[in-house]
Structures are given as C-alpha cells and as structure tokens.
Amino acid sequence: AASVEVDISSVTEGMSLTVKWRGKPIFIRNRTPKEVGDAKDTALSALKDPIARNANLASDAQATDLARSAGEGKENWLIMIGICTHLGCIPLGESGEFGGWFCPCHGSTYDTAGRIRSGPAPENMFIPPYAFLSDTQIKIG
C-alpha cells in the first residue's frame, strides 16, 4: 500500500499543510491552543456525529478532541482527509461558524477538530492511518 512521509517541521503553530495520499487531500494542521481549547470545551452531546472516525482507534471510539487529534502530548496536531463527508468537496480552512472548516458546496461547517457541526454532511472528516516517525516526520498510510 502506498504511504507517504511528510516533514512537518515547517508547520508552525496556526499553520496548515495539505499533502496528497492515495489521490486525496490530507490536511495537516498545527492547531493553536485556542483551537484545541474550543474543541475540548464542546460537549459530545453537541456533536452531530459522536464517533471519532479515526482509523488509528477502535471504530466505536468517541469523537473527543483527544481522539480526533494525534493523541496525548500531540493534541495540537490534527491530521485528516480533507474531503467533505456530504458529497466530497474540499472544505476551506479557518472558515465557518465553528472556526474550523467550511464546505462551499452546500454549507457544511466543521469545528477545529474537523467534526461536522452544521449542514448536510453526515460524518466527521475521516482521520487516515498515520504514525509519527519523529517529532517532525509523519507517515500517512
């Protein structure tokens, strides 16, 4: 299976990088403390999709911010497939009512953890399989 290695050393706090994996855009975001805090402060009961959709976790893991992020100590990193779960458009970053992503096709909005919050999309944006090879190198797939 094709995997890609990405150097994330240039992705400083508040910055994002988009790479391709299996023909799909992968959003790699180094979230600010405010973005992480906003997502943590969101009750699971407020979520439209309560499942983490994280290929690295159990399929029924809940969509906490920690479960959406790269995990303990790396919660600033959000790495996800940048495809709207409605009909597959590519959402725009740092946009929308919840400060995350906005899909221009039919108006779905995602929060700072990439979780669907309003609009027609049914599910959170998916988290691909990935691993940190070092603090500055990740392998996707």
User: Catalytic residue numbers?
Assistant: 106
| Shortest separation between residue 27's beta carbon and ligand FES, angstroms | 14
User: Which of 102/130 has CB closer to ligand FES?
Assistant: 102
| Shortest separation between residue 109's beta carbon and ligand FES, angstroms | 9
User: Which of 50/120 has CB closer to ligand FES?
Assistant: 120
Chain positions contacting ligand FES, by CB under 6 A: 84, 86-89, 103, 105-108, 119-121
CA quadruple 66, 86, 129, 17: dihedral sign = negative
| Shortest separation between residue 18's beta carbon and ligand FES, angstroms | 17
